[in-house]
């Protein structure tokens, strides 16, 4: 059995791309996640069916962190700024451990990343609107969860894979 998640972050006011990703995947995946900095109103019906957290550029009533369990997998989701992710992993790693997370989703850095730390997979989908760092592509992520590994793939706004980032990580 494979569980599939769609993960996006840092759309910064671009409602259209969130709407496009939602329309493409809702009802076809186990869950959709937005890791903050949407700059959209929390009462927008766009968020129905999407797990969303508040980023440092969001000024409405999104939760700052969410812990969800789907198909026996515990997901800790936050934007990352509250855990000083710009300066290191310690605080975010402690929170994920405290939450009993199998997966920790975060954003804020606008840089795609997938790393296993202390038995937890940390995933940043990059920014769907404003990339930073070496990879200047606007991306979101698909995470497939298998019994023995995670498969992560990053896609651009045209839903085409960015193959250099595709990888399998042992659980």
Domain that holds residue 97: 3-170
Q: In the chain, how many domains are there? A: 1
Instruction: Give the other-Cβ count within 10 Å of 23's Cβ.
Output: 9
For the chain, how are helix, strand and coil distributed in percent, rounded to 5? Answer: 20, 35, 45
CATH code at 93?
Answer: 3.60.21.10
- SS3 state at 40: coil
| Residue 139: per-residue pLDDT | 98
Alpha helices in 29-86 (DSSP H): none
Cα 15 from Cα 118, distance rounded (Å) = 35
Digit-coded pLDDT (tens) for 17-58: 999 999 999 999 999 999 999 999 999 999 999 999 999 999
What is this structure's pTM? 0.97
């Amino acid at each position: 059995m494979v569980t599939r998640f769609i993960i996006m972050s840092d759309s910064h006011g671009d409602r259209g791309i969130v709407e496009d990703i939602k329309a493409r995947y809702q009802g076809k995946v186990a869950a959709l996640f937005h890791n903050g900095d949407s700059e959209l109103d929390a009462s927008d019906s766009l968020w129905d069916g999407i797990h969303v957290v508040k980023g440092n550029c969001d000024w409405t009533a999104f939760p700052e962190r969410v812990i969800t369990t789907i198909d026996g997998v515990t997901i800790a989701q936050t934007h990352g700024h509250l855990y000083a992710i710009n300066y290191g992993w310690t605080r975010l790693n402690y929170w994920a451990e405290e939450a009993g997370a199998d997966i920790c989703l975060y954003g804020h850095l606008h840089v795609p990343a997938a790393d296993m730390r202390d038995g937890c997979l940390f995933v940043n989908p990059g920014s769907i609107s404003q990339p930073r760092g070496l990879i200047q592509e606007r991306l979101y992520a698909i995470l497939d969860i298998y019994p023995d590994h995670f498969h992560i793939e990053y896609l651009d706004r045209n839903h085409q894979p960015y193959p250099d980032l595709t990888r399998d990580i042992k659980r």
